[in-house]
Amino acid sequence: MIAAGRKGDRMTIAAPHWWGSLEDVGAELGITWLGPDDWRPAEDLGDDWADSPRTIDVPIRAERDAALRAGKVLVGTGPAVTARLMGIEHSVLWFSDERGALWCALAPYYPAWLWVEVVPTADGLREVLSTTFPRRDLSRVELTGTARGFLGYSSTVQVPNVYSGEFVDVNGHDLDRYLGMSAYPMHGAWGSVHVDDPLRTDIGAVKPLELMAATKGSLTQRLGRVPSMTWRMAQSQAYVSIEIHGRELVCAAVRYVPTPASHQATVARLNTDFGTAYPVDLPLDAIGVLTGFDWDTEETLAANLGPDASVGQVAAMVRVMYALRSGDLGGTLALREYARHPEWDVRLALLRVAGWYGDQFMLYEVLCAEQEPDRRTRIENLIQQGGFGPDTYNAFDDYFSGEPIIVDGAGEPVAAWRDDEDDEDTDDEYDDEEDEA
């Protein structure tokens, strides 16, 4: 049990029951246990800009952070992660509380609702650091976990403007600047032209011009792929992508190494506290960078498919489900049931989205289920032209200032199409695209 008091900026407390038993494993893992005279109250930490997550402020989460810090004291630091291209070290912080429990914050900017309670044993310390240390340069295929959340529509998802701080509709320039200033990701985002991080994770501090040279052209989009911007997280090395499907559905896609049990308990707790639905094995830094965004899943949106749902709700959910299952062939195939939905508007929604993704198998499903001759002819024409063809609309086009923004498989620039006057995905657009074919 800890008896806490203050002496200046220090905490005068009795040592927890495990104190002194973790020195050997601490040395093995790079942890420096602080002397009692250097223990500091957790509520006095995090005021420095360098120790701030620099993400969208959510009052309920800020209140929870303050409540969880109360009564905890900093008792150790390390090991550290060096920020790519910046050269700044961010150390793991270790806290104890009035119960003598041990808590781990994977970086100084982690709010307390992302801290992990640790079993104060050698195995407990190794487990909580197991997906972060030792550092590895993980590739996409090594990130075996996948999760995708629906953030909303491009007209409703907002980010802070890079100059005024006012919220604006999501766009490439402000999104890149906002997440580039957030503490959780490494510097050096990339577009869909890359399937893997084009930069090493161990690049040290560079000068501004070298930084621009290292990242030049990395945000280009690849013709035929879902437009995206991706960041590698600093601790877990997970890939967090912001994707725009069908020109307006905004999703976050995460590829990651599933986290250990102690981390999963933290995510389960925050899901309960905040009413969120993150997968419990999702890395903590991936959750941190998504602070301020919604994370909806098919389960959280299930009411839109319930018995009282309107035809419009069901049709909209077909598009959302297709986006959430993007890249999952089995999951996409399961949506074939909507090819036989009694309402044409629902079948049309499936037809459109299959055309956007170029999924010929789904177009045939809709064709086989359709009885009306004129519609069958139109669907057959769409199949013959290979769907709507690769979409040359670039959702992030306002960022690239004359650089090639879409390239084909050979890396050659492709002219981007954008109709500012009529950009609605309507039945008329479907008719027009078929007429052009």
Q: Are residues 263 and 148 in the same domain?
A: yes
| Measured distance CA(78)–CA(132) in Å, rounded | 12
Same domain, 151 and 263: yes
Q: Clarify whether residues 92 and 209 are in a common domain.
A: no
Transcribe 382-393 into DSSP letters: HHHTTTT-S---
> For residue 294, is it within any domain?
no
Give CA–CA dist 267/78, Å, rounded.
22
Q: Please state, rounded to an integer, the average pLDDT across all residues of the chain.
A: 89
327 and 237 assigned to the same domain: no
The reported pLDDT for the residue numbered 47 is 56
Asked whether residue 133 is assigned to any structural domain, the reply reads no
Q: How confident is the model at residue 397 (pLDDT cuts 50, 70, 90)?
A: confident
User: What Rg do the C-alpha atoms of the chain give, in angstroms?
Assistant: 25
CA distances to 20, 72, 340 from 32, rounded to whole Å, are 12, 18, 63
Count up the domains in the chain and report the number: 3
Span 340-366, mean pLDDT? 95
Residue 206 is predicted with a pLDDT of 76
pLDDT band at 142 (very low <50, low <70, confident <90, very high): very high
d(CA 87, CA 340): 57
Reply yes or no: is the peptide bond before residue 134 cis, omega within 30 of 0. yes
H/E run at residue 150: strand 145-153
Q: How far apart are CA 45 and CA 112, in angstroms?
A: 11
pTM of the full predicted structure? 0.90
Q: Is the pLDDT of residue 23 over 50?
A: yes
Same domain, 420 and 378: yes
Cα–Cα dist 349/323, whole Å = 12
- Comparing 57-71, 81-95, 268-282, 420-434, the range with the smallest average pLDDT is 420-434
Please tell me the predicted confidence (pLDDT) of residue 400. Answer: 64
| Pairing verdict, β 228-232 and 239-245 | antiparallel
Which domain-ending residue is among 225, 259, 289? 289
- Residues 186, 214 within the same domain: yes
Q: Which range, of 7-16, 88-97, 113-122, 147-156, averages the lowest pLDDT?
A: 7-16
Q: Are residues 311 and 368 in the same domain?
A: yes
- Is the per-residue pLDDT at 170 higher than 50? yes
| Statement: residue 3 has pLDDT above 60 | no
In this structure, are 269 and 311 located in the same domain?
Answer: no
CA-based nearest residue to 228, from 354, 390, 355, 406: 406
415 has pLDDT over 50: yes
- Let me know whether 361 and 276 are in one domain: no
Confidence of residue 421 (pLDDT cuts 50, 70, 90): very low
Asked if 150 and 235 sit in the same domain, the reply is yes
Residue 401 pLDDT level (bands cut at 50, 70, 90): low
Per cent of the chain over pLDDT 70 is 90
Kindly report which listed range (200-209, 272-281, 308-317, 382-391) carries the lowest average pLDDT score: 200-209
Out of 267, 289, 311, a domain closes at 289
Averaged over 219-226, what is the pLDDT?
Answer: 91
Domain that holds residue 274: 140-289
- Is the pLDDT score of 435 beyond 50? no
CA 255 – CA 290 distance, rounded (Å): 14
Per-residue tokens: 95: 């806290």
Tens of pLDDT, residues 262-318: 999 999 999 999 999 999 999 999 999 999 999 999 999 999 999 999 999 999 999
* pLDDT above 60 (res 204): yes
Judge whether residue 427 has pLDDT over 50. no
Lowest-pLDDT range, 47-51, 132-136, 291-295? 47-51
Which stretches of 23-94 are DSSP H helices?
A: 23-29, 59-69
What confidence score (pLDDT) does residue 131 get? Answer: 93
Gap between the Cα atoms of 234 and 187, Å rounded: 9
